[in-house]
C-alpha cells in the first residue's frame, strides 16, 4: 500500500482503502464479507433494483421538502433555508456494540453533571489540582451568576448530545460533548419516520429499536425537574429565538411533539416572582423552560444588555427557585474543548472509575510545548476553536491549502488559548446510495441523552451525520454533510 493510501473501517463491509484522490470501494481481496449487523439489509439490497432505490431517494427528498425539514447557514449570501441531504442506506449498530456505548455515555453524562455542580459550588476538582484553575476562571462559558445555584434535582444538563466517532471494529472515541443546546434530534426522528414509510418491509425483517419515544421521554424528563413550588402538572415551554434561527424547525417540531407551547422572549414576563406566559386567556405560570437560545441572550439584565431574545429578570426568578431552565445557564463549560481534554480525569474524579469511552488525544495550544508541536505539524492535525461548533473556525490540516495553513498559523500564534488540536482520525465509513450503487463515506454519531431527577435515558441510536463528499472528514450539515437513519438492533 502506498504512503498516500489509508485503510478505513467500513461498518458494512470491513476494511477498505482510501487514496489521496478520494474513497475507494471495499477491498476486492475476497476476504471482505458483509459484517453481521448488515447481513439482513445487504441480502435485501442485493435483490433491489438500483433505479427504484434512486427514485425512492428522490421521493425522500421531496418528503423532507414538503415537511419543511430545513436549516439556515449564517453568514452566506444564500443563507435561506436549506434541505439537509438524507441518505436512505441506514447505519446499523449491533446490540452488543450499543450496550457498551450506552454504558460509556451514561458514565460520562453523570460525570459532567457532577463536574458542573462542583465548579459552581466547592470546586473540589480544582483544589485537588486535577484541572488547572485558570481553565475555569478564564473560561468564557463560566457563569459567575450560577455560583451557589443548585438547579432542581441537581440536574444541569437535561439534554446532552455526545459526538462519537468510530475507527475500528470495537474502537469508539468521544469527539466532543454538547451540554448547552444540542441540536439534531428532530432529524433523527424524521429520518426514522421517512424510512418506515418508504421501506416498511425492512422493519419487519430487522428488529430495530424504536426512537419514537423521544418526545414523551423529553417531556417527562423536563417535568421531573420542575421547581419545588410547582403545584399540579408542570407547565413546560420551548423558548426559541424565532423563525430566523437555524434550528427553528426543530424548536417548533419538539414543542408540537411534546404538546407544549413554543414561546419567544416577548411572550414571557416576570410577574409575582414567577415567569408568566402570555396566552389567549391571560397570563399563565411557566414552570420549566427548554431554552434553545445561548446563555448570553437569556436575560438582558444579567448577560447581554442588547439582547432582544431573552426575558428580563428570568435569572432572578431562576436563582429564587421559581423556574427551571433546561439546560442550565453555565453548562457551556462542559462543551469547552480544553476542558474536554481533561474528561478522563473528570470521569475518574467523580465516578471512581476509568472512562469507558476514550477521548481523542488532544493538544492544548495554550501550553507552550503543545503549541510548538501543533505549529510544527499543522498540516497533519485538525485544529478547533475551544468554543467552536458546526464545523466553523476549524482547520483540517491534510485537506488545507498552503494559504489556509499560513492563515491558521497566524491565528494560533495570536491567540493560542483559543484552540486545541487533535490527530486526523481514520473515521469509519458507511455506504451511501449513489446513481452507480453504494459508495463509502465518513460518518460520526450523536446519541441523545435525557437526564431526569432520578434516571438517565439514552435514545437507542441517535443522529448519524455523513460527509457526502468523497474523502471528506467534515460531516456537519453547515459544511455540506447529510444525515442517515441509525438502527440499533434488538439483542
pLDDT (mean) for 178-194: 94
Q: Over the stretch 288-310, which tens digit does the pLDDT of each residue have?
A: 999 999 999 999 999 999 999 99
**Lowest-confidence region among 61-70, 285-294, 305-314, 413-422:** 61-70
pLDDT (mean) for 103-122: 98
pLDDT of residue 163: 95
pLDDT (mean) for 8-33: 61
Q: Which helix (H) or strand (E) holds 174?
A: strand 171-178
Q: Answer whether residue 455 shows pLDDT above 60.
A: yes
The CATH class for the domain spanning 228-322 reads alpha beta
Q: What is the average pLDDT value for the chain, to the nearest integer?
A: 90
- pTM (2 d.p.): 0.90
Q: Which of 319, 218, 308, 215 is nearest to 268 (CA)?
A: 308
Q: Answer whether residue 471 shows pLDDT above 90.
A: no
Residue 256: count of CB within 10 angstroms of its CB: 12
CA distances from 151 to 146, 156, 217, 301, 325 (A): 10, 7, 20, 20, 8
**Lowest-confidence region among 27-31, 122-126, 195-199, 328-332:** 27-31
pLDDT of residue 158: 97
pLDDT band at 4 (very low <50, low <70, confident <90, very high): very low
In a 13 Å sphere around the CA of 117, the CA atoms on its Cβ side amount to 15
pLDDT of residue 32: 56
pLDDT (mean) for 67-75: 60
pLDDT of residue 386: 85
Question: 248-258 and 185-198 are packed helices; what angle lies between their axes, rounded to 10 degrees?
Answer: 70
Q: Give first-to-last CA distance, the chain, whole Å.
A: 38
User: Do 224 and 233 touch, CB atoms closer than 8 A?
Assistant: no
pLDDT of residue 247: 87
pLDDT band at 81 (very low <50, low <70, confident <90, very high): low
Q: Which of 489, 477, 422 is nearest to 444 (CA)?
A: 477
Pick the CATH number of 361-423 from 3.30.1490.270, 3.40.190.10, 3.30.460.10, 3.60.21.10: 3.30.1490.270
Rounded to whole angstroms, how far apart are CA atoms 391 and 220? Answer: 32
**Lowest-confidence region among 14-23, 226-235, 241-250, 422-431:** 14-23
Q: Answer whether residue 254 shows pLDDT above 70.
A: yes
Numbered ranges of CATH 3.30.1490.270 in the chain = 361-423
Q: Answer whether residue 75 shows pLDDT above 60.
A: no
In a 13 Å sphere around the CA of 147, the CA atoms on its Cβ side amount to 8
Percent of all residues in the chain with a pLDDT value above 90, rounded to a whole number: 76
CA distances from 322 to 88, 94, 140, 380, 484 (A): 46, 44, 27, 51, 40
pLDDT of residue 20: 38
R_g of the chain, CA atoms, integer Å: 23
pLDDT of residue 3: 39
pLDDT of residue 387: 75
The residue assigned the cell 469509519 is 428
Q: Which of 220, 326, 304, 317 is nearest to 276 (CA)?
A: 317
pLDDT of residue 33: 84
Q: Answer whether residue 321 shows pLDDT above 50.
A: yes
Q: Over the stretch 142-155, which tens digit does the pLDDT of each residue have?
A: 999 999 999 999 99
Q: Answer whether residue 246 shows pLDDT above 50.
A: yes
Task: Reduce the DSSP state of residue 145 to 3 states and report it.
Answer: helix
Q: Over the stretch 165-177, which tens digit does the pLDDT of each residue have?
A: 999 988 999 999 9
Rounded to whole angstroms, how far apart are CA atoms 226 and 235? Answer: 9
Numbered ranges of CATH 3.40.50.11290 in the chain = 228-322
pLDDT of residue 144: 95
pLDDT (mean) for 311-338: 95
Percent of all residues in the chain with a pLDDT value above 70, rounded to a whole number: 91
Cis peptide before 280 (omega within 30 of 0): no
Which residue has better confidence, 2 or 464?
A: 464
Amino acid at each position: 500500500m502506498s504512503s498516500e493510501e489509508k485503510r478505513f473501517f467500513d461498518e458494512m463491509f470491513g476494511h477498505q482503502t482510501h487514496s489521496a484522490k478520494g474513497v475507494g470501494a471495499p477491498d476486492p481481496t475476497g476476504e471482505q464479507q458483509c459484517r453481521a449487523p448488515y447481513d439482513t439489509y445487504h441480502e435485501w439490497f442485493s435483490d433491489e433494483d438500483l433505479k427504484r432505490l434512486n427514485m425512492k431517494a428522490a421521493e425522500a427528498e421531496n418528503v423532507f421538502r414538503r415537511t419543511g425539514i430545513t436549516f439556515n447557514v449564517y453568514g452566506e449570501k444564500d443563507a435561506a433555508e436549506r434541505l439537509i441531504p438524507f441518505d436512505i442506506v441506514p447505519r446499523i449498530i449491533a446490540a452488543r456494540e450499543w450496550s457498551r456505548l450506552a454504558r460509556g455515555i451514561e458514565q460520562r453524562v453523570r460525570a459532567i453533571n457532577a463536574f458542573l455542580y462542583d465548579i459552581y459550588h466547592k470546586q473540589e476538582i480544582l483544589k485537588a489540582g486535577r484541572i488547572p484553575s485558570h481553565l475555569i476562571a478564564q473560561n468564557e462559558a463560566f457563569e459567575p451568576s450560577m455560583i451557589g445555584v443548585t438547579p432542581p434535582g441537581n440536574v444541569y444538563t437535561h439534554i446532552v448530545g455526545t459526538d462519537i466517532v468510530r475507527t475500528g471494529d470495537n474502537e469508539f472515541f468521544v469527539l466532543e460533548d454538547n451540554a448547552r443546546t444540542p441540536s439534531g434530534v428532530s432529524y433523527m426522528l424524521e429520518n426514522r419516520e421517512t424510512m418506515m414509510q418508504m421501506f416498511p418491509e425492512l422493519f419487519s425483517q430487522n428488529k430495530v429499536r424504536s426512537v419514537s419515544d423521544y418526545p414523551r421521554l423529553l417531556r417527562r424528563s423536563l417535568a421531573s425537574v420542575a421547581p419545588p413550588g410547582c403545584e399540579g402538572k408542570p407547565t413546560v415551554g420551548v423558548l426559541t429565538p424565532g423563525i430566523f434561527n437555524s434550528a427553528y424547525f426543530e424548536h417548533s417540531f419538539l414543542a408540537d411533539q411534546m404538546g407544549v407551547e413554543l414561546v419567544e422572549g416577548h411572550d414571557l414576563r416576570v410577574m409575582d416572582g414567577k415567569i408568566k406566559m402570555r396566552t389567549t386567556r391571560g397570563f399563565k405560570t411557566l414552570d420549566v423552560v427548554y431554552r434553545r437560545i445561548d446563555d448570553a441572550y437569556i436575560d438582558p439584565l444579567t448577560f447581554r444588555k442588547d439582547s432582544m431574545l431573552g426575558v428580563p429578570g428570568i435569572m432572578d426568578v431562576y436563582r429564587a427557585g421559581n423556574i427551571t431552565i433546561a439546560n442550565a445557564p453555565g453548562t457551556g463549560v462542559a462543551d469547552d474543548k480544553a476542558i474536554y481534554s481533561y474528561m478522563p480525569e473528570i470521569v475518574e474524579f467523580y465516578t471512581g472509575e476509568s472512562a469507558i469511552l476514550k477521548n481523542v488525544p488532544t493538544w492544548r495550544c495554550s501550553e507552550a510545548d503543545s503549541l510548538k508541536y501543533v505549529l510544527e505539524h499543522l498540516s497533519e492535525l485538525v485544529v478547533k476553536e475551544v468554543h467552536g461548533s458546526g464545523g466553523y473556525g476549524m482547520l483540517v490540516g491534510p485537506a488545507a491549502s498552503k494559504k489556509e495553513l499560513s492563515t491558521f498559523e497566524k491565528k494560533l500564534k495570536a491567540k493560542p488559548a483559543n484552540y486545541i488540536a487533535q490527530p486526523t482520525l481514520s473515521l469509519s465509513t458507511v455506504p451511501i446510495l449513489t446513481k452507480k450503487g453504494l459508495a463509502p463515506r465518513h460518518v460520526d454519531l450523536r446519541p441523545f441523552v435525557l437526564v431526569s431527577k432520578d434516571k438517565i435515558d439514552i435514545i437507542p441510536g441517535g443522529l448519524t451525520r455523513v460527509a457526502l463528499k468523497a474523502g471528506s472528514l467534515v460531516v456537519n450539515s453547515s459544511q455540506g454533510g447529510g444525515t442517515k437513519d441509525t438502527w440499533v438492533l434488538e439483542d
